[in-house]
Structure formats: structure tokens, C-alpha cells
Structure 1
């Protein structure tokens, strides 16, 4: 790296980077005219045929207090050192390597360098008034130049491959630290950061959260994607409002309880076998425990404020503890293969979304019949025979039965659901939808993986806007114009041979989508693809068109 040579900040200065120069001229303007001017009042040089002379004066640049220069294609900063009055500078997502010109900007409080290929942080080590610093995705692994920036309150060093954060140990003013997507193995440097309010250290190599035990001001903590086995050291963090520790190796929830302000807990993809240590979680609204080893819901019924409970891919057999959760809106227990009885769900008066199934069992849906606010039901991989109870639910709008063993006779019961708008029958073996024609409110229908071979069966569904026919036998979209409101068609991996019938259907236009990857379309179809794209239709295809 060439050593940076500062310029003299007097009078007209040179800003070699075209993008930065144009921005500065646009922001601070040119000096007041003293001679010939053009019609806009800009100075002109008679020797250059009257072309405007656009210059940058150091004195005017020094008056600038804020500059937003994100995503401008800037490669070098020479000249910016004269902007000595800058308090806030945004340079995110440029191509800046050398930070040398920033060394003299000692009034800076906020600096964002995210997304630049920064070679070294040494030039900013003297910017001791900095309170907010963004260094995400800069490739910066050596944080040593930051150790004297004692005024820093906000620091983002995410996605840099950082392994050592010991240089941050004396930055006691920090209240927000984003250090996710690195290779950090220890948090010891943060043990004394008593003002820390928000901490994201997800996607690192952490095995111990012990150093966080004394950070009693923490309210937001993200520990996702590490190597943690316990949360016990967090027991005293009573101000926590949001805790995330998914994709670790946790074996229990001990350490989570006793946090009266905690609103959300996400512990997906761990090794937790039981739901325990729930005392003192009076405000908890979200509990996500998908992909664990849970067999017993324990005292989950004590979470009186719970709104969302996610328990996919566990081994739960009894939903009894959820009965009486009067605020619960979302319950997802899909892929608990031995869960047969939905009875306790009847005691969830506010339930809006219910997901179950996954074990190809014949479920009794009667407990759902009187849920006055139920809007969305998902029962994939089920062998349920009787869907009659759903016909009593006037609020039901979405029904998902993917990969279920749906008997064709069951369609008559489904057709009796009065306000159904979305029906997913993908991979159920259903291809004859005649029995569903009473569903005149249907807007979305998915039959992916079925034996459907044409669009004709769907014409009676007059409100249909989205049609999913991926992996079907549809080779032609003749008659597509009869689907008057259609706006989204998925024919991925179907043997479709032409888009021509869609071209004259001008109602299929801006914002509409047709997915045709993996079909029989080829280069000969490019004129049709172009015609559709010219009217802003999104054509998702693997055909390379000029």
C-alpha cells in the first residue's frame, strides 16, 4: 500500500476520484463567480470555449458537517481531508481501500465504512470523538487501532473473520456491538462492559457465555449459530427482552427464567429435551423451540402472555399444557410424529394459526370446529379422513395439506369451507378438482406434483390469482386468458412447450409472474419471453435470451 500524502487545504483543491468529486460539487457547489459566468451563474473560462469551471475550495469543504456517500463507486478519498468540520460521514458500499485522508477528520462522531475493502484501520485510530462506527464486511481482522476510541457507543464489525476482540476491552462506553459472522472464540474482553445494551455475536465459535454474566443492562442478545451447551451464566440478566440462541448444542433452558421483561426466546435446533426454568417469564410472547428433543411441555401453561409457540420437529405426544393459553395466536407442532390428539387446542380461544401433522396419522379435527378466530390450518403429511369440522369455521382462509393422503371424497367437505382463499394440495395425489368448484372465494390453489395436464379445470374458479402447477403434466397453457384474474402461475419442471398463448393475454402484465424453469422452453421462445418482459411480467426461466 502506498503511503498517503496529505494535501494542503487552502483554496482550490484536487479531488482525483471522479465519483467523490461530483458528489462534493453537488453538495457544496462551486465558489461564487468573480468573472465570466454561464446562464446558471457558474464561473466559465473563456479559454475553454465558455465551459463551466467546477472547482472545490478547501474553505467551503471545511464548512460541511455531514456527507452521505454510500454506494457511489468511490475508490479513493484524497481531498476529503479538507472537510474538517464533518461530524457524520457515510461511505458504505464503495471501493475504498486507503483510509489515510480520514485521519484529519477529528470532529467525526459517526463513520460508516461497511462494505469497503479496507486495508488498515490505522488512519482512524486518532478519531477519538467517534461514537458510531460501521466496519461490517470490510475484511478488517485487526481491531488494534480501535482500542483508543473510548467514546464509541455503537460498533459494527460483523462479517470480517475477526478472531480476537481483546482490543475492545477498554471501550466502556459501548452500548451496541454487532460482531456476528466472525470467528470469535472468547467474549472475555466484554466482561466489564456494564453499559452494553445490545449484543449480536451470532455465527461465531463461542463455547462459553460466562463473561456476559455481569452485563445486567443487556436487553437484546443474539447467540445463534455457536457451540454453546448452557445458558446458566445468563441467569442474572433480568433486563433481557430478546434472547436468541438457536443452532447451538444446548441441552436445557436453565438460565432463561427469572426475566420479567423478556418478550421473545428463540432456541431452535438444539438438544433441549424438556421445557423448564420458566418461572418469572410473565411478559413472554414468543417461544420458538423447533428442532429439539422435547417430549414434555412441562409448565408452558404458566406463560400467560404467550402469543406464539413454535415446536416443530420434536417428539411431543401431549398438548395438554397449552390448554388455557388465552392469548395464543400461533401454535405450530408439525412433525411431532406421534402427536395424535388435538383436544387441548379447543381451549385456545384466540388461536389464528394451527400447524400439526407429519406422522401420517388420522387426526380428529373436531377440536378446531369452534375456534372463532382460526384463519390458517396446516396439516401436512397426514392421513386425516374427515375435514367436515373445518366447514364450521367461518374465519378459515388458508388450508395447507401438502403430502397428505387426501381421499378424493374429502374434497367435498373442504369445498364446504365458506371463505377459503388459499388451498395447498401439493403432492397429495389429487388431480380432479371438480368437487372444489363451490369454493368461489379461492384465490390461490396449489396442485404441484399432481397429474393435471391442462388449465381447463381451473376456469370455474373465477377469483383465482395464483396457480401452482410445478411438476405436473401441463405441456400447454392454451386457454390461459379464461383465467381472467390470474397473476401468478408456477409451471416449474412441467413439460411446457410454449408461452405463446400468454402473449396476447394483456391482462397478464406488470408485477405478474410466470415460473417456467426446468420446462421444455428453448431459445425459440425468446421472442415471447421478451414480449412478456417488455410489459414488466416477471418470467422466471433458465433459458438464456439475448
Structure 2
């Protein structure tokens, strides 16, 4: 705005502001220099401007004021600033407003805005320091403090000023206010005082002398019962962590950035994150439950062991430097790509189901290889000149070329159908195994460095080990050896020949033998005079009359079970700790007075009347049974933990002094009263009795297994037995049963009682349940989500709905099932058993997963099995079934089909059949020519007139008694040991080629002549009531049971002597004359011949191999 002179004059005429205008004075005198305005009285106008320094503003930026006029300005600092000084124009500042004094001249307001400065102080608690102790910081700036810990103190907290701790420095956030930095130091927690650490981990650390976490750089805590690694993040100095064989389920190691080696094998890990461990070079996590493993951040990895997990796939692309890789025993569904790993020296791999070939020939650095995979048919290891160990398990390999692997020292094959392998070029071989295979011949004459040779479970009939002078371990169990020369193997320490056909074994040059297993052969005597340091001997299941072990002073384990030994002298075996005389039917006395170290004794199925155990106070396990056993004193056996007794003559038992007893088994003794009040440590109690007073188990708090059967026990209190996992209460007449507190129960059998209710709602861990009780009105299994196997009364089956039965794999239904349709809801069954079903038609087409089907008795006339292509075993007995068609069953290996009405049978779709039992049917003809795996065939009591056979090289037993067979074609089996043709109209039989034949029954046949000269292993020959006029058994000295008619001219030693009772070996020293009698006087016409006690039960444990390659990593 512009003012004219008149306005100025008027303005200056105002007396109150006169002092603010030039040209006048405060004493009223005029100014000579005031000019015209002063002369004419015009008021002066002044300009007030502003000047700003710093961050802020003044509003307005200027004013035009008349003399003595005032005005005001607003001073606004920017964020983080404050008004500093205001000068240049007289006035006053109040709350951001600057008010001018009356203006009397032009002036400039000079305002400065200064940054706000905050004071940050430090408050320290504990031992440590912070510097600086105080600092002033401008708004929006950070303060930095150095944190210094006193020795063995740690920083617990920093509060009051937000910020970040970086190394040893604490940097605040940009400050907007003053604050006090509260720093708290506390004494470093010792490992012993750290309550977050697992007890097992803590103990391990303390045992190794550690006090503080930062002292630990390498830690080994294997087999310490560790369940958790919480707190491991404190051990930031760790470079190596080994926690194998614990119970760890989770593992957070993200804070252990220095870690280069981690081993957590044999735990329960389900997931593992190693992405933060960029320095990791060794990772060993085999034998866990990992379903995935991400290695994208582990480029430095050299060793990876992750076998025996649940991995279905794995990406090895990021780990290019691997030298050791173990991924065996994983259910891979995708091929594992490792062709880029050229530096591998160790490889363990289980190939996917789709992989049939594996070529390792390009991995030239390989030294050790372990391979498995059922589909694998070809394995190429050609050119691997550095290979030292090759192990192949569970594949489909039938052969392999190892001729170029000249450095092999360990060659191991188990459960592969290998029929041939050439090791003649492998002169460095020290350990060689081909087990559970199909070898019929092997040459090891060029392998003189062999110390261990295992060829068990093959079809070897001969073996030459004369060149193996360094041999220490020889395992040849389950073959067909008839002889073996070990005279050149003087260094032998273990010789295992179980289940062969040996009739003689010479051990003259084997003084170093410590372990000898000969069970299941045809040995009639064993000379042990030259094996003085023998520690273990198993001679069971041989036709031994006696055995001399008196000179074996170092013997610790002895088994002569199932032999014909009548007397056993073990007085010269003071170190004996284990003895088995199980099945010695004629053993009525046993002197144990010189065996004070005896810890285990098995004398079941003997004729012992009593047994003096007063000198055997080291006994821990005692098993004894027999019908002659009348008394047994175990009161002195204070260390006894396991006791098993049987025999109806045993009327009393006192176990009050056996306070350490953990397992008691009683089988149908004469005991009627049993006091167990002192046996509080019992874990397993099994009693099968016909009469016994009620049992009290309420004091057995550690009981895990309880079986009570056959006696009166109206009530049973199990409230204190909370650890029970298996419970059987069978035929006890129980009217109530409370299992509510048995939360760990997995198996429950409550059959044959008088229960009206059974509450299983709390038994959620049950996997197998058997409930057969006619008085039980209902059964609720809705809470049993883990149940896999169910045996149930037929009247309860309809209550089980589809949702409750979805997880069931095995179902057995007791008698009385009237509607087979109710079974159709159980679609996931792999096993189905029906007892006395009242149905004529059984359609199993909905059970496509069925592996086993059994039907016992009942009205069944027809069964449809066409959809059950997975079937492996079939049992249908004592029904009205008239036909059986098995046209699409490639996995079926066993049929039990006795006592039916089967007249029509088709086995064309069951080529894997090995055991066929079809006794007592209406079968007239049968084609078995395609059954190449057939081992046992029983067609007795059938109107069979035609049997179309082929070459059955594995056939062991053939029973055609009471049939209409008139001719028997050659069977092509040199393994045939049992042949029955009794009661058939056959007139002649050709036994040529059956050199393994042991038992032959031709009673009541029409044969007129018999040549057994080639059947030198015959032990039983039944040929009574025939047309024979003469019989030459000169070549059959092992016959122990012979029946022929009185008028038969008999030639041979066994015609003159016999041993009774039958089954014993005839010897030249026997003075009892033979009685050649009619068959009907010796045996029931339906007597079914069986092998001598059968082959021993197979219990194969993979033996130890050289330590460097004996285990899968």
C-alpha cells in the first residue's frame, strides 16, 4: 500500500506514536532537517523486515508500520528445532510470538532457529561399563555407546532408549526426546545353572568339564537320553556338534553360524533347517524321520549322511563338493541325480522304484559303495579301480561284473537273486558275502586273503575252502552241503553250518575254533577233542545219541536241543553260562553242580522229574517243562528274572524269594495256589491253567504284559497296572473289566468271559483288539483311531460303521456270521478270517488289498476270489466248498484247503505256490506242472488218479496217500525228503535221483519190488502190508524206523536191530532185535509223516563284517 503526503501528515499528527517517526524530537523542538513533511505535520511510515537463520520461519515476512505503531510476528521452528535468539528490532518473544515495541525506524528482525539438543544419560547396573557416560545429541541424530562386559558377565538388557546392539556397540534410534540408557549386566549363567537345558545335555556338558557355553567349540553327547536341545543357541562358539542316539524331535541351530559339522543320527527329527549354516561341511542325520531336506544354502558341504529317513526326493544340485554321500533306506519316488558329483569316494543310495539300472562307472574316485533298490536289475561298477568295498542289498540283480575292481577287499551281497558271480580276479578280497541268493556254485580258490566268507541261504551243495588259509569266519547256514573239508583252515574261529545236510565233519586241524554252529544237520556224532577253546556250540536238531564236551573247559554256551541224547555230562564246563536241552525227550537227569556261572537254562519238553539248582545261584533265566516234572525248588535263585514252567505233574511253586522276578510263564501245570505278593517287579505274567485260585496283580506297578487264561477269576483289579501294553483275559468267567486307566494298552484280548459291557473310550492307543463274548451286547470302537486288527463276535459286527472301520487292516469274525454283506464296509482289509460262518456264498471282490483269507468250518459252498490278485495265503478248511479257481493270483504261495468237497480246482494263475495242502477233498486230477517253486504238496485222501507234474527242483515233501495214483512221474527234485504213497494202488515207484529222501511211506500199496540203494539218507521206511517179498537195506544204515511184513526177506544191518522208542538212531551196539510187523500194528493208518522235528526256526542276523564298512552311515 502506498501512502500520500497527506496521509503521512495525518499519521504523524498522532501524539502517542510520535516518537516512532523521524523529523521530530521528544522535547517538542522541530527538526530543521525534517523537510516538508515535518513542516506540514505528516507521520512517518517504517518498514520492518525479517531475517531467518536455521530451520524455521517468521510470519509475516515483513510489515509496514507507522511511527510508534506496534506489530507481531509468529516464529515457527521446523521439526527438531527451537527458537534461538531474536534481535534487530526491539520487542518481546512470548510463546513463539514476537511483539514489536512501538516502531520509530526501519529495522530487521533477525531470528535464529537452533537444533534441539537432548541429553542422553547412562544408568549402569551390574559389572560392566558404558561409554560415554552422558552425551548430548541433536534432534534426529543417533547416539553411540560402547558396551564393555566385565569378565564372565553378560548383557541382560538395555532399556530407556530404543536402539540396536551391534557387536559391542549400542546405537540409539534417531532421538526425539531426552532419555536415560538403562544398561543391566548380570553374571553369566553357568551351564549348571541354566534351567532351559535338557538334563541329559547338561550332564554331558558338565561331565566334559565345561562351565560356560562359550567354552564349547566341539561337543559330543551321544546316547545321553537327550530329548531337547533348547538353549543350544547360547553355544555360538560351536564348530562341531554330535548328539547321536538320543530322543531329539526338534533342533533349531540357526544361531550356530560357526558350525562346520553336525551329527544327529538316530534321533526322532521330523524336520531340520540348515539354511543358515553356510559353513557346514559335514551333515549326518541318518536314522531320523525327515521327509525333506533343503541343502540350497550349504555349498561347502563335503559329507552328507541322511540314510534311513522318509525322504522321497532330494536336490543335490547345490552341493557340488560332496565326497561322502549316504542316502540309503529312503523311500525315494524320484530318481536322485548325483552324476555331477565326480569327487564321490563314498556312496550309499536306495534307488527309486522306477530305477532298473545304475551306472557308477564315471565316478572314478569311489572307494565304498552301498546300493539297494528292489527294481534294480543292472549295476555297472566297471573301471572303478579304487573301489575297496561294494555292498548290494535287496535288489533284483542276478549277476554283476566285478572283474575290473581289483582293489576290492570287501564284497557283500544280501537278498539279491544272484545266481552267479566271478571273484577270481579279486586277489585282495578279505570279506566276501552272498547271502539269501541263488548260488549253486562258487569258486573262491583265487581269494587266499579271505578272512570272512558268508554264503548262507543259497543252494550250494559243495564248497572248496582249501585255499583259504587265512579264513577266520565261515558262515554257510541254510545250504545243501553234504560234506565240508576245513582241514586247511587252521585259523578258523567261527564256523556256522546250521541247516545243511552234513553227515560228518572233521575238526582235527581247527584248534582255534571258538564258535561252532551245526544245528539242523544229519550228524550222528561230533568229535570235539581238537577244539579246546570252543566257547559256543550249537549241535541241536541232529540225530545225536551222545556228545562229549568234557574237554571244553572254556565253553560258555551249549545247545543240544531236539537231539536223541539221553545223558549229558557238563561237569567239565565250569564257565557255562547258557545251556539248552530243549526237546530232549529222554533226558530225565541233569547234573548242574559244576556250573556255578549258569545264567540261562532251557530245559523245556524234557523228561526231568526234578532238578537241583542249589549250585546255580547265578541263574537269571530258567525254562523247564515236561510231564514228569514233579517238583522244583527255586528259592535260592535270588537273581532270577525269568521263569517259565510247564507240566501237569508240578503241583507247587514258591517264588516268594525271587524278588527280582520280572517274567513268569506257567503253562498247564498242576499248581492250584500261587502267591505272588513278593514279586513286585513283575513286567510279564503269563498263566495258562485249568485250575488256579484268583491272581492279584495290584502290587505289580511295572506290569507291561498280562495273560491269564483258563481258570476262574471273576474279578480283576487293574487300576494300579497303568503301564500295561498287552492284556489277555481268556476264559476267566469275568463279569466285569475296567480298563479305563490303561492308557498305554496296545493289545487287548477279552474272549470267553461273561461281560455285559466294555468301555474302551480311554484306550486310544489300541492297535489290536479281540472281543469274543456272547454276553456282550454292544461294542463302541469309535475312539480307537489307531486300531489295525479286530477279532469280534459276529453279533457285534453290524455295530461297526464305515468311519470306524476305515483304518482296519485285519478282521476276524467268530462263529455265526449269517450275512457276508456286512463285511463289505471293511474295504481296506489285508487279512480276513471267518470262523464257522453260516453263509454259502462269499464274494470278496471289494477286498482288493487282501493278502490273507481264511475260512474255518461252516456252510461255505462257493467263493469268488477273482478280484483278490494280491492274495498270498489262502486257508479254507472243513467247509462244503466244491470248486476253487485261482487264475489271477501271482503272489499266492500257500494254500490250506483240507477237509472240503473240492472236486474242481484250477491253479493256473498261481505260479508262485510253494505250499499246497489239499488233504481230504474230491480231487480226481490236478495240473501242477507250472509250479516251479513247489516245496510241499499234500493230496492225501482224494480220489486222485492223475497228477500232471513237471520238474519241481525245490520239492521237499509229497504226500499222495489214500489216492488212486497208479504211477508217479519223475519230479526232478534232489531235495525230496518226504514221500508218502500209503494206501494207493501204485505197483512200483522209481526212487532214482531222490538222494535226500529220509522218510518213505509205502504201506498198503501194491508194490512188488523196491530199490532204495540210492536213498542212503533214509531214516524211516514204512512198507508193511504190500506185495514185497524181499528188501535190501544194506545201503541204508541210518534207518531208525522200519516196518515190513513178516514174510519179507530183509537184507542189511537194520533188519537185525532197532532202538525204541521210535525216532532214535539205530546203532551197532544196540542189542534189541527188530520186530518186522504189519503196518497196522505199528501206526495209525492215517499217520501223517513229518520231517524230524522240522528244520530249525530261522533267525538270521546279518553277521559282522570288517569294521570299516560294516554299517550303513
Fold shared by both chains (TM-score > 0.5): yes
Q: How far apart are 1:225 and its partner, in Å? A: 1.5
* SS of alignment partner, residue 340 of structure 1: coil
Query: Would the alpha carbon gap of residues 61 and 333 (structure 1) be closer, same or farther in structure 2, given more than 3 Å must change?
Result: same
Match of residue 478 from structure 2: 137
Do 1:235 and 1:255's aligned partners in 2 also have CA atoms closer than 8 Å? no
Match of residue 245 from structure 1: 581
Do 2:739 and 2:759's aligned partners in 1 also have CA atoms closer than 8 Å? no
Query: Would the alpha carbon gap of residues 104 and 72 (structure 1) be closer, same or farther in structure 2, given more than 3 Å must change?
Result: same
- Aligned-partner Cα distance in 2 for 1:487–1:368: 33
Map 1:281-320 → 2, pairs under 5 A:
281=619, 283-290=639-646, 293-298=649-654, 300-320=655-675
Match of residue 102 from structure 1: 444
Match of residue 67 from structure 1: 411
- Aligned-partner Cα distance in 2 for 1:126–1:76: 20
1:175 to 514, 519, 538: 514
Do 1:107 and 1:127's aligned partners in 2 also have CA atoms closer than 8 Å? yes
* Residue 770 of structure 2 is aligned to residue 424 of structure 1: yes
- Aligned-partner Cα distance in 2 for 1:25–1:488: 37
Count of aligned pairs: 460
* Residue 806 of structure 2 is aligned to residue 468 of structure 1: no
* Residue 531 of structure 2 is aligned to residue 193 of structure 1: yes
C-alpha deviations, 1:38-57, integer Å up to 9, x for none? xxxxxxxxxxxxxxxxx989
Query: Would the alpha carbon gap of residues 487 and 85 (structure 1) be closer, same or farther in structure 2, given more than 3 Å must change?
Result: closer
* Residue 512 of structure 2 is aligned to residue 163 of structure 1: no
* SS of alignment partner, residue 477 of structure 1: helix
1:91 to 428, 431, 434: 434
Do 1:231 and 1:255's aligned partners in 2 also have CA atoms closer than 8 Å? no
Query: Would the alpha carbon gap of residues 396 and 81 (structure 1) be closer, same or farther in structure 2, given more than 3 Å must change?
Result: closer
Do 2:812 and 2:833's aligned partners in 1 also have CA atoms closer than 8 Å? yes
Q: How far apart are 1:236 and its partner, in Å? A: 4.2
* Residue 771 of structure 2 is aligned to residue 386 of structure 1: no
Do 2:813 and 2:833's aligned partners in 1 also have CA atoms closer than 8 Å? yes
- Aligned-partner Cα distance in 1 for 2:692–2:525: 41
Q: How far apart are 1:130 and its partner, in Å? A: 0.9
* Residue 491 of structure 2 is aligned to residue 151 of structure 1: yes
Q: How far apart are 1:152 and its partner, in Å? A: 0.6
Do 1:275 and 1:297's aligned partners in 2 also have CA atoms closer than 8 Å? no
Query: Would the alpha carbon gap of residues 75 and 304 (structure 1) be closer, same or farther in structure 2, given more than 3 Å must change?
Result: same
Do 2:409 and 2:431's aligned partners in 1 also have CA atoms closer than 8 Å? yes
Do 2:437 and 2:457's aligned partners in 1 also have CA atoms closer than 8 Å? yes
Match of residue 842 from structure 2: 497
Match of residue 80 from structure 1: 423
- Aligned-partner Cα distance in 1 for 2:377–2:828: 46
TM-score by length of 2: 0.37
Deviates more, 1:304-313 or 1:361-370: 361-370
Q: How far apart are 1:259 and its partner, in Å? A: 4.5
Do 1:378 and 1:399's aligned partners in 2 also have CA atoms closer than 8 Å? yes
- Aligned-partner Cα distance in 1 for 2:542–2:460: 22
Q: Specify the structure having the higher radius of gyration (Cα).
A: 2
Match of residue 921 from structure 2: none
Do 1:273 and 1:294's aligned partners in 2 also have CA atoms closer than 8 Å? no
- Aligned-partner Cα distance in 2 for 1:386–1:455: 21
- Aligned-partner Cα distance in 2 for 1:191–1:349: 51
* Residue 799 of structure 2 is aligned to residue 457 of structure 1: yes
Query: Would the alpha carbon gap of residues 24 and 220 (structure 1) be closer, same or farther in structure 2, given more than 3 Å must change?
Result: farther
1:223 to 560, 567, 573: 560
2:549 to 198, 208, 212: 212
C-alpha deviations, 1:150-190, integer Å up to 9, x for none? 1111111122232333x114312112211110122334x22
Match of residue 400 from structure 1: 749
C-alpha deviations, 1:338-389, integer Å up to 9, x for none? 322324x44434222222332xx4324346554443443323343x243346
Do 2:730 and 2:749's aligned partners in 1 also have CA atoms closer than 8 Å? yes
C-alpha deviations, 1:107-127, integer Å up to 9, x for none? 221222334444544x42232
| Unmatched segments (≥5 aa) in structure 1 | 1-21, 33-54, 504-508
- Aligned-partner Cα distance in 2 for 1:254–1:328: 29
Do 1:394 and 1:417's aligned partners in 2 also have CA atoms closer than 8 Å? no
* SS of alignment partner, residue 124 of structure 1: coil
Query: Would the alpha carbon gap of residues 214 and 391 (structure 1) be closer, same or farther in structure 2, given more than 3 Å must change?
Result: farther
TM-score by length of 1: 0.70
- Aligned-partner Cα distance in 2 for 1:392–1:75: 56
* Residue 602 of structure 2 is aligned to residue 266 of structure 1: yes
Match of residue 339 from structure 1: 692
Do 1:252 and 1:276's aligned partners in 2 also have CA atoms closer than 8 Å? no
* SS of alignment partner, residue 434 of structure 1: coil
Match of residue 42 from structure 1: none
* SS of alignment partner, residue 617 of structure 2: coil
Which one has a larger percent strand, Structure 1 or Structure 2? 2
- Aligned-partner Cα distance in 2 for 1:491–1:183: 41
Query: Would the alpha carbon gap of residues 292 and 371 (structure 1) be closer, same or farther in structure 2, given more than 3 Å must change?
Result: same
Match of residue 446 from structure 1: 791
Which one has a larger percent helix, Structure 1 or Structure 2? 1
* Residue 815 of structure 2 is aligned to residue 477 of structure 1: no
Q: CA RMSD in A?
A: 4.2
Do 2:684 and 2:704's aligned partners in 1 also have CA atoms closer than 8 Å? yes
Higher relative contact order (CA 8 A, sep 6+): 1
Do 1:305 and 1:327's aligned partners in 2 also have CA atoms closer than 8 Å? yes
